Amino acid sequence: MTTRAWVRMPSGKRLDLLNPTPFDWDDADLALGLARTYRWGGHSAWPLPLSVAQHSICVMLLRQLASTEPLDPVLALRELLHDAEEGLLGFDAVSPLKPFLGDGFRALTQRLEQMVFLRYGLPAWTAGEHARHKQADRLAAASEAVHVVGWKEAEVWNTLKIRAAVLEEDPLAARYRCRPWEPWPPTVAAERFLVELEYLMRRIEAGDAHA
């Protein structure tokens, strides 16, 4: 008996988790998957949990804000897609769980990440670029911990071990005129993620050097 290793995407495409290809999903599949995948184990001080889609846009904006010049759209797209494999899996492991998932799960997520980079033409991280990405990612995580989940600022450093400041201003609020730090409904998160994705892809295809 053959063990099924593929999952059905909303578009009807099949994603083979053991042997994925860049053609196993479409952009709307990815946007919806990220919008329905939740950070922090789904825990939230708000009525809704925070989606990976919303977090991904936040990290992209923080990376842009930290840059001294407009961020190249390819680099902005890589920021937007930095957790894309989680949307394909529908799973974002909380930090205490990750050490127990093992090498098999790590290899699976790495294969999916490779297919995402291949599909969207993303360059591999350089050491410097990845460090700047992680700075934005940690800044988002520290702020989410306090404003979304309800951790205290001291706990962010001492318990969660996130070495980053906690922002007061939500970078998404200015862009979308939304309530600061409030998690979006999945339909809203998916729509906004897809708009950002398609916008950056159009700029890349047009040869635009700035996002």
pLDDT of residue 1: 55
In a domain, 21, yes or no: no
pLDDT digit string, tens, across residues 47-97: 999 999 999 999 999 999 999 888 999 999 999 999 999 999 998 888 888
pLDDT of residue 2: 67
Average pLDDT over residues 21-33: 97
In a domain, 32, yes or no: yes
**Which residues, 6 or more positions from 17, have their beta carbon under 8 angstroms from its beta carbon?**
5, 6, 7, 89, 108, 112
pLDDT of residue 68: 87
Is the pLDDT at 176 greater than 80, yes or no? yes
In a domain, 4, yes or no: no
Distance, CA of 19 to CA of 4 (rounded, Å): 12
- Helix, strand, coil shares, percent, the chain, to 5: 55, 5, 40
CATH number at residue 150: 1.10.3210.10
For the chain, the domain total comes to: 1
Distance, CA of 3 to CA of 174 (rounded, Å): 48
In a domain, 210, yes or no: no
Which residue carries 């940690």 as its tokens? 138
In a domain, 6, yes or no: no
In a domain, 66, yes or no: yes
Decide: pTM greater than 0.85: yes
Is the pLDDT at 107 greater than 60, yes or no? yes
Is the pLDDT at 124 greater than 80, yes or no? yes
Amino acid (1-letter code) at residue 109: T
Distance, CA of 207 to CA of 33 (rounded, Å): 29
- Residue 201's domain spans which residues? 26-205
In a domain, 19, yes or no: no
pLDDT of residue 204: 96
| pLDDT, the chain, mean | 94
207, two tokens: 């040869």
In a domain, 137, yes or no: yes
pLDDT digit string, tens, across residues 127-173: 999 999 999 999 999 999 999 999 999 999 999 999 999 999 999 99
